[in-house]
Amino acid sequence: MKKANKLFLAVLMAALGANGQAKVMESSVATVNGRPVLASEYDTYLEGVVEQYQLAAPQFLEQPYAKDILGREVLKELISKELLYQAAEEEKIQVKDSEIDAGVNEIKTRFIIDETTGKQDPKGAEKRFNEALKKQGISFKTYKNKLSKDIAVRKLMEQKLQATVKPVEEADAKALYEDVEAVMKNKTKKIKALETEDPVRLKEAQAIAAKLKQLTGEQVRIGHIYLAVTEDMKPEDVKKKEELAKQIKKEIDGGMDFSEAVKKYTEDKNALASGGDMILLKGVAPKAIDEKAFTLAVGKVSDPIKSDIGFHIIKIKEKRAERSISYEDIAKDLAQYLAQQRVQLAMAEYIEELYKKADVKVTIEFESDALLQQEAAQTPEKTTAEKDTKADTKGKTDKETQK
C-alpha cells in the first residue's frame, strides 16, 4: 500500500469512524451524550493528519507541542461529527441504498491510479480499495454503515443550510472584487478604510489578492532533476553529488532525452508521475533556481544549480508573462468563495448550538495540559508577588515624599 492511498484511507476511515470492529470496552478520548469517541478512531485520524503535515509542512511539526495542537483539532472534528450524526438520527434522515452505493463507487475511483507504476489501472481499483479496508481493520459492511451516517449528515446539513444561508448576489461578488483590487493595486485610502471598518474583510481580500498574484504573475514550466544534499552529509559525498550532476548534464547535452534523465536520476520520487514537470512562480523558488528559470530560453537546459538542499538541473519548457485579471475573469470564483464562506459560518454556528445542548466530556490528556496547569497555578503567585512589590515601592515612595 503506497503512501497517498495509505494517507487518504487513514483520514477517511477516521472521518467515517475507523476500526468499526472495536470492542465496546475500548478506551475513548471523549463522550458525546454518553456515546464514546474511540481512541482508535482518534489515533488513526491524527496519524493521517500528522503524515499530511510531514509531506506538506514539516516545519510546523518542529514547533513545541505541535502534535497537541493537531490533536486538539482532530478531537474537535470528531466530536463535531458525532454531534452531527446524533442530530441526523433525531431528524430521522433517511439514506437510500443507491446513495450508499454511489458513495462507495466514488471512493473507489480514487484508487484507479496504481502508485507502483504511476499509471491508471481501473481494473485494479477494487482490489486496492479492499486492501485499504483490510489494512485499516474494517469490514466492508461496517464501512458502508459509517458511510451511510456520513451521507445522512450531508443531507441534514443541506436541509439546515438551505433554510439559513443567504444566496450570493452579484453585488456581493463585485464588492469583494473591489476590495481585492484595492489590495493588488495598493490603493492606500481604500485599504485604510477597510482596516478601520472591517479588518476581517481586509484580511480576506489580502489572502485572495496573494493567491491571484500567484496565478497571474510571471510563470515558467520546467522539467526538474534533483539530487539531494543534507546538512549531515560529508564533503566528499557532496562532491560526488556535484560530479553526478555534471555527468547528467553531459549525457543530456549528448542527446539523452530529459524525461529519461528524470526517470533515471532524480531523487524527487514524487515528481516521477509528472516527468519532473513543475510550475515556478517568479520570486518564489530559491534565488539561484529562480534566476536561471526566468532567464534561460524555452528549450534550454541549465548547468547544475546548487541550492541549500542539493543540486538541480532544469529544462525550460514553457513561459507565461504576467497578466491582468478582470472582474469577469473571476466573478464565478468569487461568488463560489463567498458561498463557501457563508456555508462554513452557518455550519460552525449550527455545530456550536448542538455543542451547547450536548453533554460532552473529554477524557484524553495532552502533554501540554500539565504545562498550562503549571502556568495557571503560578499566575496567582506572580500576581501576589507583583502586588507586594508595588506596595513596597509605594511605601518607600510615600516615605521619601514625607521627607
Q: Is the pLDDT of residue 5 over 50?
A: no
197 shares a domain with 150: no
Whether 52 maps to a domain, the answer reads yes
- Do 252 and 307 fall into the same domain? yes
Based on the domain organization, do 211 and 340 belong to the same domain? Answer: yes
Question: What gap in Å lies between CA 263 and CA 193, rounded to an integer?
Answer: 54
pLDDT tens for residues 368-387?
877 767 766 765 554 444 54
Give Cβ neighbours of residue 140 (< 8 Å, ≥ 6 apart): 130, 133
- 146 and 288 together in one domain: no
* Residues 197, 179 contacting (CB under 8 angstroms): no
Q: Is residue 301 part of a domain?
A: yes
Examine the domain organization and report whether 228 and 337 are in the same domain.
no
Residue 113 forms beta bridges with which residues? 120
Burial code of 354-393, b = ≥16 C-beta within 10 A, e = fewer?
Answer: beeebeeeeeeebeeeeeeeeeeeeeeeeeeeeeeeeeee
46-55, 351-360, 367-376: which has the highest mean pLDDT?
351-360
Query: Are 254 and 110 in a shared domain?
Result: no
86-90, 355-359, 390-394: segment of lowest average pLDDT: 390-394
Instruction: Summarize pLDDT for 272-302 with one digit per residue, the tens.
Output: 666 678 888 887 788 889 899 999 999 999 9
Would you state the torsion angle of the CA atoms of residues 346, 351, 353, 355, taken in this order, to the nearest 10 degrees? -160
**pLDDT for 239-255, tens place per residue?**
999 999 999 999 999 99
Residues 236, 281 within the same domain: yes
138 and 201 fall within a common domain: no
Domain total of the chain:
3
Angle, in degrees to the nearest 10, between helices 97-108 and 140-164: 110
Domain that holds residue 12: 3-164
Per-residue pLDDT, averaged over 316-331, amounts to 89
Q: Are 221 and 318 in contact (CB under 8 A)?
A: yes
Per-residue pLDDT at 56: 79
**Cβ 359 vs Cβ 34: under 8 Å:** yes
169-192 mean pLDDT: 93
Q: Counting every residue, how long is the chain? A: 403
Would 392 be classed as within a structural domain?
Answer: no
CA 105 – CA 111 distance, rounded (Å): 10
pLDDT for 10 equals 44
73 and 202 within one domain: no
Per-residue pLDDT, 273? 64
When pLDDT is averaged across residues 155-183 and rounded to a whole number, the result is 92
Q: What confidence score (pLDDT) does residue 376 get?
A: 67
Indicate whether 139 and 246 sit together in one domain: no
Q: C-alpha angle with apex 180: 174 to 182, nearest 5 degrees?
A: 105
Q: What is the pLDDT of residues 77-116, one digit of tens each?
A: 999 999 999 999 999 999 999 999 999 999 999 898 887 7
256 and 124 both lie in a single domain: no
Confidence label for 135 from pLDDT (cuts 50, 70 and 90)? confident
Q: What percent of the chain has pLDDT over 70?
A: 84
